[in-house]
Every structure is written in C-alpha cells, then in structure tokens.
Structure 1
Amino acid sequence: MPDRPDLAAAVAAAPLTNLIRSGGEMFNWTDTNGRDNALLTRLVVEVVEHAGPGRTVLVAGPHPDGLVAALTASGASVSWLLRSLISAETAARVHPAVTVLSGAFGKTDLTAGYDVVVAVGGIQRLNSAEGDQLSAGELLDRLAAAVRPDGALILMHDNQLGAHHTVRLDPGARHRDDAAWHPAEATEGPAARAQLTAHLTDAGLVVDAAYAAFPEPADPSVLLGGAALGDVASPLRPWLRTVLAQAYTTAYRGRPVLSDPRRLVTRALRAGAEDTVAGGWLVVARAPGDVAPAREWPEVLVSDVHGVYVPGSGESLAPGAVDGLRRERVVHPDAADRLEDRLLELCAAGDVRRLRQEITQYESWLGIGPVSGPQALADLSDIGITADGPVVMSARWTPAEPLPAQIVLVRALWQFAVRLITWGRPHPWPITASAADLAAILAGMAGRSLADDELRAAIDLQMVIDSAEFGLSPAERQAHRLALLAVQPGTAPLDVAGYHELAEALWRQRYQASHLLAMMEWNEQMIRSRDSALSKMDFELQLLRRSWSGRSLMLAKRAYKKVRK
C-alpha cells in the first residue's frame, strides 16, 4: 500500500482490466470470503494439477483468498465469479492475474467450459438479488454444464441436518451476516449425500469421490469417504472417535452452543450414521471424455496444527518446536477400543476391581523411568487397547526432553478425572469429590501417591500442551490454568460451552448445595438433641447435689474411689 494518500487514491481509481461485469451484480454489498483451509486448498490444487498444463479453472462464489492465490501459483488460468461488485473490485485488485466475473450466476456466460470448476464455498451464495433466483437443482446443473469433457467439478454442499446446525446457538445471525440474506433451508436441494451424487450423475457427471466433511463445510478438518464411511466394523472406528473429538474441540472451543457436538458425533459413529450429521459433503466429479481417470482417492484425510495428512501415507512433518514440544504425527488405527471409553464404562458400572487392573496395566506400560516419545503426552482418549496391550492411536506432540513417569501418569489420570466431573459421568466415588481428589484415588489404584507439587506440575504440562495446540496468549494461559485448578463438582466443561452441559452443571451445583444444606440441618438437629440431653443430665445432677440423699451418695462415691485406690 503506498504511503502517499494521493498515490493510494490513484491506485484505487485505476481501471481494472481483469474485471468483467456480466450483469445482475449486487451493489452496496459485500460477501465474506472466509478463512483459508489447508485441507480444501490442498485437495483443490491437487485436482487442478492433475488436470494437466494449460488448465482453466472457474472459482464459483466467495472463496478464501489463499485458495485463489494457490490456484494462480499452480499455473492455472483462473476465473473468479462473484455476485458482489464491491467484492469483485477488491478481488480484481488483490489478484491481478485472475479474471474476475461480477454478476448473477444465471446471467454469466459459461458455455466455453472449464477444465476444473471449484465450488467448495457451497451454492448458497451463487444467486444474486438482482437476477433470477435459481433453485438448488438448477445451480447444480449449471455447475455441471460448465465442466469440459475430462474436466472436474469440486463441490461442497451444506448438510442442513448436520451437527453444526443442530447445536448452533447464535441468535440474530441472519440479521448480522449479509451473506445470509437468503436462508439456505429455503432452497430446495439434495438433503443427503446419496441425493447429491445422484443429481450430479443425472447431470452427466461421473462421481469419483464423495466425502463427509467435519466439523463445518466452510472449514473442514476431517474428510471421510469410501469404505471408512458408515462401517461400524471398521478398525478405524476408535481412531476416528479421537480424531473427530479433536476436530470439534478445536472448532467449538469457547463458542456457545446448544449442546456439545462431540456427544452427538460420537453416538453417530457408534451407529454408523456419521454421514447424516456431517457438516457437509465434498464431491469430486468429472465429465466423461477420452482420457481415463488415473487417480485414486484416499478414504480419510485429516488436517491439524501440523498440516494435512492421509493415514498410512507415511508423510513427514516439517521440523519445529513450541514451548519444549516437538511436532509428532502418530496414527495407529488398528486398536479394538479406546482406553478412556473402557474406563468410563467401568466407572459407570462401579467395577472398581477391573478399573484398578486397567489403570495398573497403563501404569506398567509407562514404566518407572523417564517417558519419551508420543506416549509421554498422549491422553487416555489417544490410547487404544490391542491384544498386545496399550498403544498410542493418535498423537500430535512429543516432549523435547523425557518426562518423569509420575508426572505423565498424574496428568493422564487428572485429565480423566476432570472429564468425569465436567461431563457429569457416573463414577463409584462421592459426588463431592474434586478433580484432585479423584486423581489421588485413581493414582492410588496404581500404587502411587499424589503430592500437591506433582499435581501442579501435571497441570502446568497440560497448559503447555493446550497453549501449543490452540495458540493461547499469556493472559489466556493464566485464566485457563486457574480454571483447571478450580475444577470441582458442578464445574461445566472448560473447552466447549454447551447450554445443555451448563444446565447439567447448574443442576449438579444445586444438588451439591442441597446435600450440604441437608447435612448442616442434620448436624444442627444432632447438636440440639445433645444439648437437650446434657441440660437434662445437668439439672438432675444439680438436684441431687442439693438434697441430703444426693450428698450422701456423692460422699459414698468418693469413699469408694479412695478405698479402691
């Protein structure tokens, strides 16, 4: 940006040679492009590069600037269609190598066709208020017709039954967001992945890959497709529960929601219905041509703080360290069950004997010496159970230096105790037990004691992990640390603020308060009863001391004691 105001105004007023107005553009209107998503960017760029040199790409609707820049850097000839004139002018200035088309999607001439059509922003923002309102089916048909033979269509379609809509708690969002001027649920269209793929097939395309996207279609971090989708017998199930829980924790951390989406998605995974509650569906389809497709699509794609990876691909990580932690990527999807799920079931059943056996086995697996590698920072939810014993299913960080086994054990058990309390899960111990008390009980099952300095060291270690994972500021780290230290019965979940969970925590607080009030009332009754009995005995004693018979009795008692001595 030039420093001189007159020069900046001249640059802003310069004619835009890469802007084409096709009619029906929306004036005094802006569309937000959203934030960059590494998973979508990588997949789209790979499809475009696979199309070969000299490919033409149409980006339909608002998309992140990083995605458009990546397509331009790949050598493709990019055209970007936007309904907002202000957004189109801004895009033309920011991306001078991109041909920006401004206007209604129904009025734009797409008969020339494109090698790749990208619509991962969905179809909800393709219609313009200044043009004919096309239905969802008509929008899909026009997108399919814009694909040349042997070309590809990459489409993300929002799932109106998805967990992100079910748990949303954002009153007035449609009145604040310009992009929501036309409600998505008012647009009739495919309401299931099978309906979407069938519509594209009827439009003359061949569907190569169809993924369920989690947690939200605008910013997915997990894509499930192929045989991994809906197969309850798949060995990936325990690992997928951990991966999806991490994805929803990152996406909804600190956001008010109606209910914790992790519970809904976990139940859907158990029932094989994760496709029904997915945030959206990502479809890659091609127009039939002379060139046979030679691309195989993986069943699972995951993105995290380290980047994008495919399980089993053997991809390496870029070197780097944060606060004494090194990046790590461990995927072991062959576990029969998760250790945390097994412990939760044993706690609910009150099976203390088997609970002690599981914790002892975990403690033996850690060993007595310093612990290094991914198992040093793995949560109980990251540990799977196999025939050969525990194994780390998923890990994203490893300590730069080995950690004492006692601190590793205390952190894992304390974190499990926090989840027992904040999730309101049943366990064999009194409801008044705090997280520190439960951690001490669980550590005692492994034959270990728990000192205050060890607990604080474990919490500090958890703080380092959370800071590296979520990029917490110093003030946020201090507030989070105080919240972790104050976990008591009735404490709500510390990561996802669900209204259902908050109501449950409030009920637990009221139950605990009523329990304490009942104990106080019982103590008062006992004290009053004992005071009454003591007063009665004191009255009888004073009465006996004032009479001759009572005095004689007291003298006889004293004489008997002296004779006995």
Structure 2
Amino acid sequence: MTRSNLIGGEMLNWSDLHPVDARPAAAGPAATALLAAALHPDDAVLIAGPHDADLITDVAARVTSVDLLLRSAPDAEELAELLSETKGEVFCGSLDRFAGEHLAPDGQLSNGYDVIVALDGLERLVGPDTATLPWAQALDRLRARLRPGGRLLLGAPNTFGFGRLVQPDITAALPRDEDWGRDVADRTPAGLKSLTAVLQASGLTVDRLYAVFPSLVQADVALTSLDGFAPVVAARAVAAGNGGPLLMDPYRVVMDAAEAGLAFELAPAWYFVVGTEPPAVLPEGVVPDGAGVLLEEHLLTAMKYDDHAELRRIIPEYVAWLGAGGAGSPDNVIFDGTSYRLFGEPQDLDVVGHLRRFAERTLESGSRQPWPAAGDPHLLTSRLASMAGITVPEQRFRRAEVIRPLGSAEQLTTVARLAEELAHASARAILFEGTASGLRRSKPYRVGHAILGPAREVRRRLKRARWKIKRAVRKVRRR
C-alpha cells in the first residue's frame, strides 16, 4: 500500500497539482508517449517532481512499483490515496533531504530505481527552506539513486526559447507565488550546450534528445529533429500555446527559425533520455512522411518574390483539386510539385472559404504581398479567387472588416510599408499636379482656352435658351 512520508523541506500549504498562482504539473501527449515507450513491466520507478495525476496513474499501471518525490504536502496526501492499491511510497519534501542515509559507500543506492522520471525538470524538487541546491548537484543526487544501466527521463526548460521571442514577459513585473528568492546557482543552465555539458560532466550519455513544444507542462509534441514537416507541427504547437499580446507571430517565427537551422536550440524545452532510445517523434504519427512542401509556404514564397506567374499557375490547380474532392486549406495541404495531399483533418469549407482562410493567415502574419498593403480579407480573397475564374460575392464578408498582423513587429512593418506606399502616391500626385500646372501655363493651352472659352459660353447660352423654349411650350400645352 502506498504511504506518504514527510522527509523535511515539505511545503504544507502549497499545491503543484492545483496551483493558484504558479505553473501546473508536467503533462501532455508527448510525455505520455515517452513513458509508454521507455517503461517496462518489471521496472521500479521514481517520479520526481510535479507530474499530472493521470500521468502518474498511467505509469503505476505499467510497472511493478512507483515511488513519488513531491514537495507539496497536500499533493502527497492526494496521490498517496490515489495510489493506495499500488506498490510504492510517496516521499514529501525537498530533494536535498531525500533519504541520503540509504546510499551505499560508493554513492550508489543498493536497491535503486530502474527508471527515474523528472519530466518537469529539477527546479521544483525543492522548496523555500532549501537555501541553495545547484542544478548540477540536484542532477547528481538523482543519478545516485539510479541503478547501473538504469534509465533517466529528464526535462529541462529553455531560458531563451521561442517564448522570449514571441511574447513579452509581462509577468516578470508581477512575481508569482512560487518566485521566491533563490541563489543564482539554482537556475537551470542557460541553453542546450550548457545543459549537455553538465550532463556529460555527471557521466551521463544522452541516448535521445527531444525538442519539446510548446512547454514541459503541456508537451504536445517532442521531436529529435526539425526537418521535413516537423517545423510545421512545432509551429502549430507554439502558436496554440501563445495568446495575448505578441511581439511576433509565433507560427512564422518557428518556421523562419527552422529554415535557418535554429529551431531546435530555440525550443521551449527539451527531454534528455538516458539508457534507452524511444521513437524519434512523440507521439508517433503527428509528422507526415513523404516529399513536398506545405502549400501555404509555397504560396507565401511566390508572393514574397512577386512571382505572379507561379500564383496564377498554382491557384487554379489547387482550386481544381478542391473541386475533385480535396478538403484542406493551404496551411493543411502538402504540395509536391505535381499533386496535392491533405495534412491533418479535412476542413468543412467551400473553395472561397479555403482561400479566405489563406488570406486571413497571410494578413495575420504580416507577410509581404505583391500588391498594395491592406488588411482587407475580401479584397485579397477576391484577387486570389479571380485567378481561378471565381467571383466572390460581397455578402460573403462583413463590411469594413480589417485584419491586423498578430505581432507588434509585423504591425510596425506593415505600417512602414503603408507609409512608403502613401509617400509614393503623394509624390506621384505632386508630380501630376506639377505637370498639369505646367500645361495650364503653356502657350498652346492658353491659346486653346482663349478659343474654346467663347465657344463654351455660346453653347451654355444656347442650352439655356432651349430650356426656356421647352418650358414655354409645356405651359402652352397645359392651357
């Protein structure tokens, strides 16, 4: 029967499972898939740090025994009751108080664990009673409890990931309840190189390294590389995980970083796997196979470089594919140069709806267009539809609808482009006005004006006389 044991450094009035003003526990489909791939039925497992209750019960159903190490006393009691029929114990307290007396003289635990799971990282393994515990020392304490040949599943947040690039850290001025003062040595090493160096210095060989999106607390996908269509999956996860004010469009930032080969280093977090090699993509099947490029990217590239010929070739082909039974917008369709195939679930939209979705995403991303800058989705949709011979009715759109770029940077870029276009239009107007003024001052214009002026006056008087005659005739007829 599972029991809860207080080991020191526990937090009596705190919950990581049900936070009020703090991060939730580690969870997500990628975390579940990783545990399913790495655990064996006869394993003795230690789960260190806050993990979602469903994740813990899933592990308990797969292995022989599960011990938990938590800093929250309420969480420890709740999970001990939840796992009452499971073999194992719940230890409540800080990592630096965790049963050091049970270690053998060589620093290894004689009856240690086959697997240690710390997918939330190491930062929340201690409370405010622990003055300092450097990240490397915390890692060594966990490693010491691992049996020879055991497996370690470790999560680590990125202190300079996509989150820092796409969203302002408004909460920095308003510390959360868990942001108590800590020694500077407690921080997670900054960057992938620093983390890898600490792991190597501890004698650990990383067998699998995953980039996790969008975060450790909601690990939707974990990838060992960002090639092929993996950046699209990562970009969707980051975009879905970032709301509110944005510095830049999250989706485009990830796609551009992947094109530059920087997306892995800028991932929001990583999983380090020691002692086993799970699948390269978690969960499996979320990244499509095969050659090609996302149709949206192909169209945006053509628009960026003013390739009207390519746009007029691809749009009719894509519309024809939709007419033949296709059901995907450009952000959900793969184009391999000759054919189209769906990437994800079908979308219940008509042809104009698919083109409108692409127009909206283009405007939201602030991507360059080969036409005057505007935020009117009707105008852009109509222009694209006309390439396939389709007329978009006005009633399909709300009047005066304007779509602005999501990110502040793209908004400023759009404003700059509008200002440039306005300056060019103003310069052309001034040039036209100067040309017209010069014509009015020219001798041929003055001569023509002198000749035509009297003729215009005669014509005007004749029209007035005809009107008077007609009115007199109507009066006579009425009599």
TM tier relative to shorter chain: 0.7 to 0.9
2:11 counterpart SS class: coil
Separation of aligned partners in 2, 1:25 and 1:69: 22
Provide the aligned C-alpha RMSD in A: 4.1
Residues 312-461 of structure 1 aligned to structure 2 (within 5 Å): 332-367=288-323, 369=324, 371=325, 375-376=326-327, 378-387=328-337, 389-392=338-341, 394-397=343-346, 407-408=350-351, 410-432=352-374, 434-452=376-394, 455=396
Would the alpha carbon gap of residues 76 and 366 (structure 1) be closer, same or farther in structure 2, given more than 3 Å must change? same
1:492 to 385, 404, 414: 404
Give CA deviations for 1:48-90 in whole Å, capped at 9, x if unaligned.
Answer: 2x2x32x221111111111112122224422211223343334
Report the alpha carbon displacement of residue 309 of structure 1 after superposing the two structures with TM. 2.8
Show the counterpart of 2:255.
Answer: 266
Partner of 1:300: 281
Mapped partners of 1:381, 1:183: distance in 2: 44
Task: Give the distance between the partners of 2:329 and 2:206, measured in 1 at CA.
Answer: 39
* Structure 1 pair 188–143 and aligned structure 2 pair: CA distance change class (3 A): same
What is the letter of the counterpart of residue 245 of structure 2? P
Q: What residue number does 1:139 align with? A: 138
Does the 8 Å CA contact 2:134/2:185 hold for their aligned counterparts? no
CA displacement at 1:211 relative to structure 2? 0.9
The 3-state SS of whatever aligns with 2:124 is: coil
Identity of aligned residues (%): 32
Q: Secondary structure at the match of 1:205?
A: coil
Shift of 1:194: 4.5
What SS is found at the alignment partner of 2:55?
helix
**Paired residues of 2:94 and 2:125 also in contact (CA < 8 A):** yes
Does structure 2 retain, via aligned residues, the 8 Å contact 1:242–1:382?
no
Q: What amino acid is aligned across from residue 263 of structure 1 in structure 2? A: R
Aligned residues: 437
> In 1, are the aligned partners of 2:47 and 2:68 still within 8 Å (CA)?
yes
**2:285 and 2:189 mapped to 1: Cα distance?**
28
Report which stretch shifted further, 101-110 or 389-398: 389-398
Matched, 1:124 2:36: no
| 3-state secondary structure, aligned to 1:449 | coil
| Counterpart residue identity of residue 335, structure 2 | I
Opposite residue 32 of structure 2, the aligned amino acid is T
Q: Cα distance 1:217–1:36, how it changes in 2: closer, same or farther (>3 A)? A: closer
Cα distance 1:248–1:190, how it changes in 2: closer, same or farther (>3 A)? same
Which structure 2 residues correspond to residues 526-541 of structure 1 after superposition, within 5 A? none
| CA gap 1:88/1:510 in 2 versus in 1, 3 angstroms | farther
Q: Which gives a bigger RCO, structure 1 or 2 (Cα 8 Å, sep 6+)? A: 2
Give the C-alpha shift of residue 200 in structure 1: 2.9
Matched residue of 1:438: which SS?
Answer: helix
Q: Which amino acid is the alignment partner of residue 408 of structure 2?
A: Y
In structure 2, what is the Cα distance between the partners aligned to 1:500 and 1:141? 43
Question: TM-score scaled by structure 1?
Answer: 0.66
Q: CA deviation at 1:349?
A: 2.5
* CA separation of 1:296 and 1:113: change in aligned 2, threshold 3 A: closer
Residue 99 (str. 1) matches residue 107 (str. 2):
no
Supply the distance in 2 between the matched residues of 1:38 and 1:492 (Cα, whole angstroms): 33
Distance 2:74 2:284 in 1: 37
* SS of match in other structure, 1:179: coil
Deviation at 1:342, TM superposition (A): 2.3
1:470 is matched with: none
Distance in 1, Cα, partners of 2:375 & 2:55: 50
Quote the offset at 1:139 in angstroms.
Answer: 0.9
Give 1:460's aligned residue. none
Using the TM superposition, name which of 504-513 and 198-207 deviates more. Answer: 504-513
Displacement after TM superposition at 1:416 (Å): 2.0
Match of 1:56 in 2: 44
Residue by residue, what CA displacement relative to the aligned partner does 1:403-456 show, whole Å, maximum 9, x if unpaired? 7xxx23x22222222233232222232334721122112111112222346x46
Deviation at 1:135, TM superposition (A): 0.3
Q: 1:379 to 1:245 in 2, by over 3 A?
A: farther
Paired position in structure 2 for 1:6: none
Q: Give 1:78's aligned residue.
A: 66
2:131 touches 2:183 (CA, 8 Å); kept in 1? no
Corresponding residue number in structure 1 for 2:445: none
Contact 2:375 2:404 (C-alpha < 8 Å) held by counterparts: no
Q: CA deviation at 1:108?
A: 0.6
Matched, 1:250 2:206: no
- 1:180 counterpart SS class: coil
How far apart are 1:153 and its partner, in Å? 0.8
Give distance in 1, aligned partners of 2:263 and 2:158: 12
- The residue type paired with residue 436 of structure 1 is H
Aligned 8 A contact 1:443 1:449 in 2? yes
Q: CA deviation at 1:204?
A: 3.5
The CA distance in 2 between the partners of 1:397 and 1:354, in whole Å, is 25
Per-residue deviation, 1:147? 1.0
